[in-house]
């Protein structure tokens, strides 16, 4: 398989993208030159595109090679926010609290599913990272950064795996599958695998080395 991988328009020699069920996806990559990278990065993995931000403290060059870490979206969910008090006799809207946190962190967040949800008449936001505000406001409802860099709220959609793939390994005890697949966009969080490996994907690693792509999927019984 010949798979084109580029970072900021430059061909990458290796790439790993870790996608959790909730939170921010992270990518680690290497390029065989020492050119600088822009802050906002477009990762091309085959036909798939991922939008993220360079994490400068984990990025550098050595011996004419660049190693970089990229966080999904604007990379702002770790931003420490100032304390803030919300009050509304009709109930403080969840969407307002999370939208404020996203705006102050520089992130793009969609909240359509939470326009009517409330947090009580008062909500006090402590001096905490923006991600913590989402966790406090949304409770058990997951939030996650999509490949396009936007932050979404709500459970992932379950979809049956339709693209062909080779099952290289499967641990039925811990529901971990290793796959070879031509189209990396064909599998994501929520994808359901059938056959010799029965699982609903909850966590993914896309690993590219040279022209080889391997996908490790962790999941639960469908």
Give the domain ranges of the chain: 5-72, 84-143, 159-220
Question: Does pLDDT of 141 surpass 80?
Answer: yes
Where b means 16+ CB within 10 Å and e means fewer, 144-154 reads bbbbebbbbbe
Is this prediction's pTM over 0.85?
yes
Query: Using one digit for the tens of pLDDT, what is the confidence trace for 165-194?
Result: 999 999 999 999 999 998 899 999 999 999
Compute the distance between CA of residue 142 and CA of residue 180 in angstroms, rounded to an integer: 28
Instruction: Say if residue 56's pLDDT is above 60.
Output: yes
CB 115 within 8 A of CB 157: no
Tell me what the mean pLDDT of segment 77-99 comes to.
96
The candidate with the shortest Cα–Cα distance to 170, out of 139, 215, 109, 117, is 215
């Amino acid at each position: 398989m010949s798979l084109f991988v580029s970072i900021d328009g430059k061909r990458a020699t290796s790439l790993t993208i870790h996608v959790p069920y909730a939170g921010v996806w992270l990518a680690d990559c290497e390029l065989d030159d020492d050119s600088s990278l822009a802050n906002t990065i477009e990762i091309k993995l085959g036909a798939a595109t991922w939008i993220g931000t360079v994490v400068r403290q984990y990025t550098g060059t050595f011996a004419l090679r660049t190693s970089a870490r990229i966080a999904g979206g604007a990379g702002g969910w770790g931003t420490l926010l100032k304390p803030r008090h919300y009050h509304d006799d009709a109930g403080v809207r969840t969407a307002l609290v999370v939208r404020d946190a996203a705006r102050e962190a520089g992130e793009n967040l969609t909240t359509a599913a939470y326009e009517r949800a409330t947090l009580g008449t008062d909500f006090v936001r402590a001096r905490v990272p923006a991600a913590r505000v989402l966790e406090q406001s949304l409770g058990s409802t997951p939030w996650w950064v999509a490949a396009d860099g936007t932050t979404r709220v709500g459970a992932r959609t379950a979809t049956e795996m339709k693209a062909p793939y080779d099952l290289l390994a499967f641990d039925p005890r811990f529901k971990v599958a290793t796959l070879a697949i031509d189209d990396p966009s064909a599998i994501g969080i929520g994808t359901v695998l059938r056959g010799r490996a029965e699982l609903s994907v909850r966590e993914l690693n896309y690993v590219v080395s040279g022209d080889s792509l391997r996908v490790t999927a962790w999941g639960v019984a469908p």
